[in-house]
């Protein structure tokens, strides 16, 4: 049997993520052949021609009309993702779109509809799903060592910088929530064990950064089994807090920062704990006996998930050529966008 031929690929948007990740990853993977680069900046197009020896175009319309690729990687400005993805799907291309996949649920549904009608793959680069901490937390929750997990908090690193790039302009789809916030929304949803019940959000522009988009977002997600999952993302907090806190009724886990290689766990086996019976309305000896003595296990463990995560472009090849399940299904990306819509609706602040 002949091996499947490489997937011809165009990368639309040769900015940071398009240039440093997507086109480089596709070019070094033998399953892909970079045939086109698209960017509005002429210097970027010339560099792409020199480095990758491919054709370049100023607009995605020109590239699609030239019929140069089977796959379109969309890494343009956030506000253009839906329009560019739909055009590529209607032209018969499979689509790998960077985050955020869309500006709202209506746009996401347009993209999914176009993929279904044209029988093409649509997947999204929600890269935090592959990160070790998210996968490790998922495995710890599944192990049951913390008991019933009722609260997950993803903290924020201390950083204060006054952004003045396009990510701070609404007209380009910028803002803290559309940038790191979409990553965090998608990541914490991987730690839910039941459908989302309701969402609360607080988005605002503090005024520290240039532009008119939000530079602060705090989101709380409550699932149908009662789990509270929350996070904040901000460019304007000079001090940080622990990256992750996961609390169950038999213990907790903490990861200090995104640079941490270990996690702290403190938990107990309820079968080995003394019975705890209600005393009634009058505590003996006028004491509440808090804290009680428990058979605590305290350990520091390496953040090393047991299950590997498929390489993004290897998985994309298997999905397009052999019908594998993509790392990120369009439906799961849709839920991320839906939750983001709900958080925006719940926010009472105008910015």
CA distance 187 to 244: 12
Q: What is the DSSP letter of 199?
A: E
Q: Give the 3-state secondary structure of residue 330.
A: helix
Q: Are residues 80 and 135 located together in one domain of the fold?
A: no
Which H or E run includes 254?
A: strand 251-255
Q: Are residues 79 and 212 located together in one domain of the fold?
A: no
Mean pLDDT of 61-78: 97
Report the Cα 156 to chain-centroid distance in Å.
15
Name the burial class of residue 239, with classes exposed (0-12), middle (13-18) and buried (19+) by CB atoms within 10 angstroms of its CB.
exposed
Q: Which of 335, 340, 316 is nearest to 130 (CA)?
A: 316
Within 10 angstroms of residue 231's Cβ, the number of other Cβ atoms is 22
Domain C-terminal end among 86, 104, 125: 125
- pLDDT number for residue 133: 97
Q: Give the 3-state secondary structure of residue 269.
A: coil
Which two three-digit tokens encode residue 346? Answer: 């719940």
CA distance 261 to 249: 25
Q: Are residues 133 and 87 located together in one domain of the fold?
A: no
> CATH number, domain at 103?
3.40.50.720
Q: How many CA atoms lie within 13 A of 190 on its CB side?
A: 25
- pLDDT number for residue 290: 67
Q: Are residues 191 and 235 located together in one domain of the fold?
A: yes
Mean pLDDT value across the chain:
93
Domain assignment of residue 290, given as a range? 129-309
Residue 262 resides in a domain = yes
Q: Are residues 60 and 121 located together in one domain of the fold?
A: yes
Mean pLDDT of 260-284: 89
- pLDDT number for residue 296: 95
Residue 252 has pLDDT above 50, yes or no: yes
- pLDDT number for residue 351: 45
Task: Name the β-bridge partners of 36.
Answer: 10, 55
CA distance 111 to 99: 14
- pLDDT number for residue 270: 94
CA distance 265 to 120: 44
Residue-wise pLDDT tens digits, 116-169: 999 999 999 999 999 999 999 999 999 999 999 999 999 987 788 888 888 888
The count of structural domains within the chain is 2
pLDDT above 90 as % of the chain: 78
Q: Which residue has the higher pLDDT, 204 or 328?
A: 328
Residue 2 has pLDDT above 60, yes or no: no
User: Residues 152, 228: contact at Cβ < 8 Å?
Assistant: yes
Task: Name the β-bridge partners of 97.
Answer: 74, 124
- pLDDT number for residue 349: 58
CA distance 61 to 80: 13
Residue 137 resides in a domain = yes
Q: Kind of pairing, strands 228-234 and 32-38?
A: unpaired
- pLDDT number for residue 350: 54
Q: Are residues 296 and 160 located together in one domain of the fold?
A: yes
Residue 17 has pLDDT above 80, yes or no: yes
Residue-wise pLDDT tens digits, 194-248: 999 999 999 998 888 888 888 899 999 999 999 999 999 988 888 889 999 999 9
Residue-wise pLDDT tens digits, 276-304: 888 788 777 777 766 678 999 999 999 99
Q: Are residues 12 and 107 located together in one domain of the fold?
A: yes
The alpha-helical segments, DSSP class H, found in the chain are: 16-17, 24-28, 42-52, 60-65, 81-90, 105-117, 132-143, 182-189, 312-322, 330-346
Residue 75 has pLDDT above 80, yes or no: yes
Q: Are residues 264 and 292 located together in one domain of the fold?
A: yes
Q: Are residues 180 and 202 located together in one domain of the fold?
A: yes
Mean pLDDT of 3-24: 94
Q: Are residues 119 and 133 located together in one domain of the fold?
A: no
Q: Are residues 229 and 246 located together in one domain of the fold?
A: yes
pTM for this predicted structure = 0.92
Domain C-terminal end among 277, 293, 309: 309
Residue 1 has pLDDT above 50, yes or no: no
User: Residues 167, 179: contact at Cβ < 8 Å?
Assistant: yes
CA distance 238 to 253: 25
Domain C-terminal end among 66, 92, 125: 125
Residue 319 resides in a domain = no
Q: How far is CA 104 from CA 110, 343, 345, in A?
A: 10, 11, 11
């Amino acid at each position: 049997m002949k091996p499947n031929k490489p997937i011809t690929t165009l990368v639309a948007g040769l900015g940071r993520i398009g240039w440093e990740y997507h086109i480089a990853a596709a070019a070094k993977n033998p399953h892909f052949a970079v045939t086109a680069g698209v960017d509005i900046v002429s210097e970027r197009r010339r560099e792409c021609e020199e480095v990758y020896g491919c054709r370049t175009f100023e607009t995605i319309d020109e590239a699609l009309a030239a019929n140069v690729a089977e796959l379109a990687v969309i890494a343009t400005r956030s506000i253009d993702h839906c329009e560019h993805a739909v055009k590529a799907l209607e032209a018969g291309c499979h689509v790998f779109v960077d985050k955020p996949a869309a500006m709202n649920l209506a746009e996401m549904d347009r993209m999914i509809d176009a993929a279904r009608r044209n029988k093409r793959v649509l997947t999204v680069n929600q890269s935090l799903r592959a990160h070790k901490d998210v996968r490790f937390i998922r495995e710890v929750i599944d192990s049951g060592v913390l008991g019933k997990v009722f609260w997950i908090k993803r903290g924020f690193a201390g950083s204060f910088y006054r952004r003045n790039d396009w990510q701070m302009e609404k007209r380009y789809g910028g803002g803290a929530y559309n940038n790191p916030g979409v990553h965090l929304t998608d990541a914490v949803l991987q730690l839910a064990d039941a459908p989302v019940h309701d969402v609360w959000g607080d988005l605002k522009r503090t005024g520290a950064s240039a532009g008119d988009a939000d530079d602060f977002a705090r989101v709380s997600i409550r699932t149908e089994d009662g789990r509270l999952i929350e996070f904040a993302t901000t460019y304007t907090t000079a001090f940080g807090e622990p990256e992750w806190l996961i609390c169950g009724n038999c213990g907790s886990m903490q990861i200090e920062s995104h640079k941490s290689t270990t996690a702290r766990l403190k938990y107990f086996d309820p079968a080995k704990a003394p019975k705890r019976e209600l005393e009634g309305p009058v505590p003996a000896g006028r004491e509440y006996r808090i804290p009680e003595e428990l058979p605590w296990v305290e350990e520091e463990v390496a953040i090393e998930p047991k299950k590997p995560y498929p390489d993004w472009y290897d998985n994309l090849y298997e999905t397009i050529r052999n019908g594998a399940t993509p790392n990120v299904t369009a439906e799961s990306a849709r839920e991320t966008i839906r939750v983001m819509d709900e958080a925006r609706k719940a926010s009472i602040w105008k910015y």
